[in-house]
Amino acid sequence: MTSRDRRNFIRTSSILGGSLFVAPHYISSLSALQPGQKLADRLKSNGWFRLGCPSHNCGGRCILKILVQDGIISRIETDDRPNDLPEEPQLRACLKGRAYRRRQYHPDRLRYPMKRTGHRGEGKFERISWDEATSIMADEIIRVKNKYGNEALYIPYGTGSYSQTNGRWPAVRLSNLIGGSLGFYNSYSWACISKATPTVYGTSVTGNQRQDWLNSKYIIMWGWNPAEMKDGTNSDYLIKLARKNGARVVCIDPRKTMSAVALADEWIPIRPGTDVAMMSAMVFVMMDEDLLDESFISSHCQGFRSNDMPAGYKNQESYADYILGTKDSIPKTPAWAEKITGIPAETIVRIAREYATIKPAMLYQGYGMQRRAYGEQVVRAGCVLAAISGNIGIHGGWASGMALQAGGGPRWSVFPTGRNPVRARIPSFLWTEAVIRGTELTDKEGLKGTTALKSNIKFIWAVASNALINQHSNINRTSKILKDETQVEFIAVQDQFLTPTGMYADLLLPACTQLETWGLEDGWKYGEEVILMPQIVEPAFESKSDYRICAEIAKKLDVYESYTQGMDEKAWTRKLWNAFKQSRFPDLPDFETIVESNAGLHSRPVKNPKISFEDFRNNPAANPLKTASGKVEIFSTELHRLNNPKEIPPIPKYIQEWESPFDATVSRFPLQVIGPHYMGRVHSTHANVDWLKEAFPQRIFINPIDAASRNIKDGKLIKAFNDRGAVILKARITNSIMPGVISIPQGAWWQADEDGNDIGGSVNTISSERWTPLAFGNAQHTIMAEAKLYKQ
Amino acid sequence: MLVSDYSLIIFTLAIQLSVGLIILFNTFIYWPAFNSRGTIQRMLKSIPLLALAIGIIGVLFSFLHLGHPMKAFKAINHFETSWLSKEIIFLSLYLGFLILFILVTWTTTSWKRIQKVLLDLCSIAGIILIYSMSKLYMLPAQPNWNSVFTFVSFYGSSLLLASPLLLLLITKKGSYSSQRALAVLNAALIIIALILLPVFINFLQQNGIPGQQAMDLLLGSHSLIFFGKILLQIVALILIFRSLFVIRSEITQCRQLTIPISLTFASLLIAQYFGRALFYALALSEGGF
Amino acid sequence: MTQYGFYIDVSACSGCKTCQIACKDKNNLDLGVLWRRVYEISGGDWLKRTSGAWEPRLANYYLSISCNHCEAPACLPACPTEAIFKNEDGLVLINDNKCIGCKYCEWACPYGAPQFDIASGLMTKCDLCYDYLKDSKLPSCVSSCPMRALDFGQMDVLQEKYGSNRSVYPLPRTDELKPSLVITPHAEAKLAEELSAKIVNKEETENVS
């Protein structure tokens, strides 16, 4: 796609629709647009509404207070419940929620169904009617189904619209009514951690309820950045309170993140991808100085020393063997780790001592470091550290790992999608493989539910997903795959904007925002609340809710009745509200009551936070873990059986990444590139909101040392590139990133210039499609590249 | 930068040039030695008119800077504390006296005492005007402006631009001594400007973070304009020296002078435009806010 | 005369800019107009060991600033039209009828508070959400802060609650202008001063009029 095409498209759509920009203009353009309709008829509501902030798979679930005047949103405030106590803090929205007007009334909102006119990926479309659009959808579904079977249909991973009634779920429900579609498992967020945590603990529920953080005395935020990535509304605030309560907070991260600045007493820069080396050296120190919780290890853990090894594995390398270098002759000393991690040995020693002796202590792992090559290892190593220091099952401690909260976490989906008649599932990250060689995939590539696929993917329906292009690795490769119309024969994209993924659509279906339909959510990961999201304004132009679009398609496929069961969006929301009432929140008020009250949410305080593994700690024999041994598996027999010790060792090991500052290509690509979450975006959502771009412009962040050696000046255009592609952005020279590492925050929208360089600045232009060995997860943060001044 | 601040650049330079013309003109009247062939009398009508025209151009450009030009008259309200109010008052007085002088001069044939008084008042108002104009920028919040260099720059620009322009106007009719005096004055001013440059650089280097940032700017993103300005001043200096060589007798060939002096004036005008643009670019507040 | 002011807990500010956006939404501010801005202060250097390990000596923090409604504001005497005034609640306000949009207050204020709005041709700035104050509601920025790092109230009350410090590096001339602030500095503020740390996100904070 060229930028000219994009401009032309946008200009065309602007002429068609008039400007949707600022509220006052919106009124006139709206009435001008719909001449037959009286404005008054459109005005549902006036006044303040309390509701859930539109949910786009950020880690927050917050409350907005929105002022609607004459059917237009004119102001957005946030939770103002009078008591703001730690057990039930206000759910204050971040800047993205507060800037929502600029998204809601953005001039680029998709207004009408459109079909492709040029080549795929060119971005040329023409307006069509909803009737034509839904007919095309139904015809294509039937054609592909008949020709290739249901396994050729695919509704990819996508989290752009994430409330229960919106986004993918309604599409999956429809698909399941017509014979199903190829399924997927795991996610782009948590592939390694969700796979590896149970290999240690037998569960992913390894977290305490957050209020327990206030009991901690030592907190390591290891690659964890709650201020920027919002791992639960208020997680950053609760760390602040924990610190106020006397906890010392240390942040280990390649960047001096916002969390490091606002929450930590100390920041330790670490070379990306080397966390396991530091963890191993910490264990070395703890062994050397006798700082381990020996009684916990002997009674609760498997495989730390030879005598803890399971029967039949006594001669295998135990964790202690690995740390001391008994078998590989490399003791994992702090000096060894210093060369790998870039952290002075005495710092590693000190942190090991502090973590082992200041009790209770939390080692909180972020998710970025498991979206890397061998990302499984860091998850396991972190869990092991928590266990052998005796920090699990106690107040103020933390078992590390995936850390879903004790006492029941959120229900990720309550929308009844039904059973998928297609049992075959692929790892979510491997969909391009399923496009180009799906029938060749085996369980070695994570195929589940079948031994072989009957077809490659031939039909893609991307709902609220920008993961076809922007959020999937190696964009230039994906672009080439998708442009080949003999591979995927039909692509429908259903979204609120023309995303980079939308540019590859054959059919564009305009979805309305979550403020224009009904929905609900419960707290994300943490949080004891159900949040209602009533419709407060009418859908803009011809956009419809995801559910309504699916229902219209269902009509063409003759499954309308079974699809809708006679319910509209509000009725489904009522049904789902009751589903929460019947499960997690028996004390939930009636749906009508909550709607009438305009409270926006039902929440309950956490006065006595629940602790994971409390029973197991107190009596391991009576309350064994759901691992094979019932113990904390430092050595995993299950992983040993996979017989791939180099990539999937049964004990957590530091493995040099496949792209690394220590390998041969470093002369060409000496810089490590990381793609962290950015404050102004949720992945690629909000990337087009002007207020947010003003606050957090997309830049390549580079250390002054790396900038100086490349003659890069602050604010000048630079090109970050490797063999996969090139990103061109302005440089921001900052001390807040370690030398040898540059940061291109993920989620900016890919935009190719005439030479194929990405001037939009998506880090995935240079990320790799290679997946991790155990979880088949995305290793999108393992990137080596070079940067230089860009001259046009 | 060259474009975004154009209204203020043109306003300040035009006013300073206008005032400079009047001051030099008045000086010539005070020292008739420079006036051997009655040059000034012959230009009594044209030069003030030119100064007025340049002044009015300046005022018009100043309106372009305002968000509400039609309310500009309100700017005199805060005379006690605001140097901007004072600037506007003295600008009005300056232009007022100038207009009165022109009216009297154009309606009478012989030189009258009232003209002298008006011209003196006009000069004094002009000098105070440039003082106010300088003080206006000498804000504690703007450390790179808040020094004597602002006075030097504004009064300097005044004479630096006015001297070659006046010289140009009297190439035909001017006396040898007056031409020579103006050329010498202009050369001296350029030399002073060039000598003061390292002093100013030294001042910036000592001027905390805003000064350092100014240096980064002058040697970095704005270096082309910075060195361009110096180069143009040197070119002007060479041209004016060459002219001095030409003005060595009463029988100066005016054609020989017109071109180099025009070029001198043009070079200096562009140099001062660049310099003033840099001046505004140095608005780097204390603390960097 | 009462004097309202802000409390800023610089030590707890994550630089998320929710306050900035809440302000823009409340006041319908165009791009380039930032009544509240969040400055990123950064300074220091990185030392490399022979092992390749890094030892940073850095100071970093964020400073959220709107108009400080100074007791002795620098903008007020500079304004040529007397458009800027201090009201009975200590608020520094701009009278739109008098303002001619000359931008002189912008130069005079060392804190970047007055900002030119192209659309109206007027200087604009934080009015402490004066309409909210009348309804006993907190200013939009204060109630927005996810870190609870902002507070608002009468200066004497704030000082009683949080102490009397009204400055943090690199806020200039706080003794002279007496900004109506109570500040808890960041732990790295002293180091920042030693290292001559600078504001490094200028492009994100500048009024682009």
What is the phi/psi pair of residue A477, to 5°? -70, -50
CA separation for the pair A31, A29 (Å, rounded) = 5
What is the phi/psi pair of residue A389, to 5°? -90, 0
CA distance B89 to chain C (A): 11
CA distance A447 to chain C (A): 41
Q: How far from A41 is each of A45, A48, A70, A73, B12, CA to CA, in Å?
A: 10, 19, 10, 16, 58
Within an 8 Å CB–CB cutoff, is residue B8 touching chain C? no
What number is the average pLDDT over the span B39-56?
Answer: 87
Nearest-by-Cβ selection for A344 from C22, C32, C49: C49
Which residues on chain C are in Cβ contact (under 8 Å) with A345? 53
What are the DSSP E strand ranges found in A107-227? Answer: 114-116, 125-127, 153-154, 183-185, 218-222
Nearest-by-Cβ selection for C102 from B65, B76, B285: B65
Nearest-by-Cβ selection for C55 from A234, A344, A703: A344
What pLDDT score was predicted for residue B39?
63
Look at A262 and C13 and tell me if their CB atoms are within 8 Å: yes
Model confidence pLDDT, tens digit, residues B253-287 = 566 788 899 999 999 999 999 999 999 999 998 88
Query: Within the 83-112 window of chain A, which residues sit less than 8 Å (CB to CB) from chain C?
Result: 84, 92-95, 98-99, 101
Q: Print the SS3 string covering chain C.
A: CCCEEEEEEHHHCCCCCHHHHHHHHHHCCCCCCCCCEEEEEEEEEEEECCCCCEEEEEEEEEEEECCCCCCCCCHHHHCCCCCEEECCCCCEEECCCCCCCCCHHHHHCCCCCCEEECCCCEEECCCCCHHHHHCCCCCHHHHHCCCCCEEEEEHHHHHHHHCCCCCCCCCCCHHHHCCCEEEECCCCHHHHHHCCCEECCHHHHCCCC
3-state secondary structure of A193: helix
Q: Which of A674, A748, A678, A689 is nearest to A228 (CA)?
A: A678
Q: Which residue of A261, A263, A340, A732 to mutate against C (max C Cβ within 10 Å)?
A: A261
Which residues on chain A are in Cβ contact (under 8 Å) with C38? 695
Look at B75 and C110 and tell me if their CB atoms are within 8 Å: no
CA distance A274 to chain C (A): 13
Look at A338 and C147 and tell me if their CB atoms are within 8 Å: no
What pLDDT score was predicted for residue B2?
73
CA separation for the pair B125, C2 (Å, rounded) = 43
Is residue A747 within 8 A of residue A760, CB to CB? The reply is: no
Which residues on chain C are in Cβ contact (under 8 Å) with B213? 198
Does the domain at C4-205 match CATH 3.40.640.10? Answer given as no
Q: How far from A487 is each of A432, A435, A437, A576, CA to CA, in Å?
A: 10, 7, 10, 38
Domain B6-288: give its CATH code. 1.20.1630.10
CA separation for the pair A383, A633 (Å, rounded) = 10
CA distance C132 to chain B (A): 27
CA distance C122 to chain A (A): 20
Number of cross-chain residue pairs from B and C with Cβ atoms under 8 Å apart? 112
The mean pLDDT values, 10 residues at a time, for chain C of 209 residues are 95 98 96 96 97 97 98 97 96 96 96 94 96 92 98 97 97 96 98 96 85
Dihedral sign of CA atoms A132, A136, A138, A142 in order? positive
Q: Which residue of C20, C23, C25, C188 to mutate against A (max A Cβ within 10 Å)?
A: C25
Is residue C161 within 8 A of residue C183, CB to CB? The reply is: no
B128-165 as b/e, with b when 16 or more CB fall inside 10 Å? bbbbbbbbbbebbbbbbbbbebbbbbbbbbbbbbbbbb
Each domain of chain A, given as residue ranges in start order, spans 114-189+411-520+544-567, 192-408+611-641, 664-789
- Measured between CA atoms, the residue of chain C closest to residue A694 is C204
Look at C21 and A95 and tell me if their CB atoms are within 8 Å: yes
Which residues on chain C are in Cβ contact (under 8 Å) with A341? 53
Q: Which of A409, A348, A402, A335 is nearest to A375 (CA)?
A: A402
Look at C103 and B65 and tell me if their CB atoms are within 8 Å: yes
Within an 8 Å CB–CB cutoff, is residue C206 touching chain A? no
Which residues on chain A are in Cβ contact (under 8 Å) with C15? 258, 261-262, 679
Which residues on chain B are in Cβ contact (under 8 Å) with C103? 65, 67
Euclidean distance between the first and the last CA atom of chain A, given in angstroms as a whole number: 19
At the second CATH level, the architecture of A664-789 is Beta Barrel (2.40)
Model confidence pLDDT, tens digit, residues C28-56 = 999 999 999 999 999 999 999 999 999 99
What pLDDT score was predicted for residue B111?
73
Residue A470, burial from CB neighbour count under 10 angstroms (0-12, 13-18, 19+): buried
Q: Which of A654, A653, A656, A648 is nearest to A782 (CA)?
A: A656
Each domain of chain C, given as residue ranges in start order, spans 4-205
Within an 8 Å CB–CB cutoff, is residue B89 touching chain C? no
Please list, in sequence order, all residues whose beta carbon lies within 8 angstroms of the beta carbon of residue A344, skipping any fewer than 6 positions away: A338, C49, C51, C53, C55
Q: Which of A97, A101, A103, A95 is nearest to A228 (CA)?
A: A95
Nearest-by-Cβ selection for C82 from B67, B68, B77: B77
Is residue C100 within 8 A of residue B71, CB to CB? The reply is: yes
Within an 8 Å CB–CB cutoff, is residue B91 touching chain C? no
What pLDDT score was predicted for residue B33?
60
Q: Would you list which residues of chain C are within 8 Å, Cβ to Cβ, of chain B?
A: 39, 65, 74, 77-83, 98-104, 107-112, 116-118, 120-123, 170-173, 176, 196, 198-199, 202, 205
What number is the average pLDDT over the span B52-78?
Answer: 94
Look at A99 and C21 and tell me if their CB atoms are within 8 Å: yes
Is residue A296 within 8 A of residue A390, CB to CB? The reply is: yes
Look at C98 and B137 and tell me if their CB atoms are within 8 Å: no
Which residue, chain included where needed, has tokens 């020292």? B31
Look at C148 and A261 and tell me if their CB atoms are within 8 Å: no
Within an 8 Å CB–CB cutoff, is residue B81 touching chain C? yes
Look at C199 and B287 and tell me if their CB atoms are within 8 Å: yes
Look at B68 and C198 and tell me if their CB atoms are within 8 Å: no
Model confidence pLDDT, tens digit, residues A551-594 = 999 999 999 999 999 999 999 999 999 999 998 899 999 999 99
What pLDDT score was predicted for residue A39?
38
State percent of chain B over pLDDT 90: 73
Q: Which residue of C14, C48, C205 to mutate against A (max A Cβ within 10 Å)?
A: C14
Q: How far from A374 is each of A325, A338, A388, A753, A774, CA to CA, in Å?
A: 21, 20, 22, 34, 8
Homologous superfamily, domain A192-408+611-641? Dimethylsulfoxide Reductase, domain 2 (3.40.228.10)
Please list, in sequence order, all residues whose beta carbon lies within 8 angstroms of the beta carbon of residue A343, skipping any fewer than 6 positions away: A268, A269, A270, A278, A337, C53, C54
CA distance A687 to chain C (A): 15
Look at C42 and A76 and tell me if their CB atoms are within 8 Å: no
CA distance A602 to chain C (A): 20
For residue A397, give the amino acid letter.
G
Which residues on chain C are in Cβ contact (under 8 Å) with B85? 80
Helix, strand, coil share (%) of chain B residues, nearest 5: 80, 0, 20
Which residues on chain B are in Cβ contact (under 8 Å) with C77? 78, 81-82
At the second CATH level, the architecture of A114-189+411-520+544-567 is 3-Layer(aba) Sandwich (3.40)
Nearest-by-Cβ selection for C110 from B65, B69, B287: B287
Low-confidence ranges of chain A (pLDDT < 70): 1-45
Q: What is the DSSP string of A425-442?
A: EEEGGGHHHHHHHGGG--
What pLDDT score was predicted for residue B177?
79
Nearest-by-Cβ selection for C14 from A227, A697, A704: A227
Look at C204 and A228 and tell me if their CB atoms are within 8 Å: no
Is residue A112 within 8 A of residue A542, CB to CB? The reply is: yes
Which residue, chain included where needed, has tokens 């300005």? B229
Prediction ipTM score:
0.97
Model confidence pLDDT, tens digit, residues A202-235 = 999 999 999 999 999 999 999 999 999 989 999 9
What number is the average pLDDT over the span B190-208?
Answer: 96
Q: How far from A2 is each of A570, A758, B289, CA to CA, in Å?
A: 41, 11, 39
Give all strands of the β-sheet with A72-78 in edge-to-edge order: A47-52, A63-69, A72-78
Quote the Cα angle for A753-A498-A19, to 5°: 105
What number is the average pLDDT over the span B123-137?
Answer: 98
Count CB-CB contacts under 10 A for residue A451: 9
Nearest-by-Cβ selection for A736 from C42, C140, C149: C42
CA separation for the pair A211, A604 (Å, rounded) = 13
CA separation for the pair B171, B182 (Å, rounded) = 11
Please list, in sequence order, all residues whose beta carbon lies within 8 angstroms of the beta carbon of residue B239, skipping any fewer than 6 positions away: B260, B261, B263, B264, B267
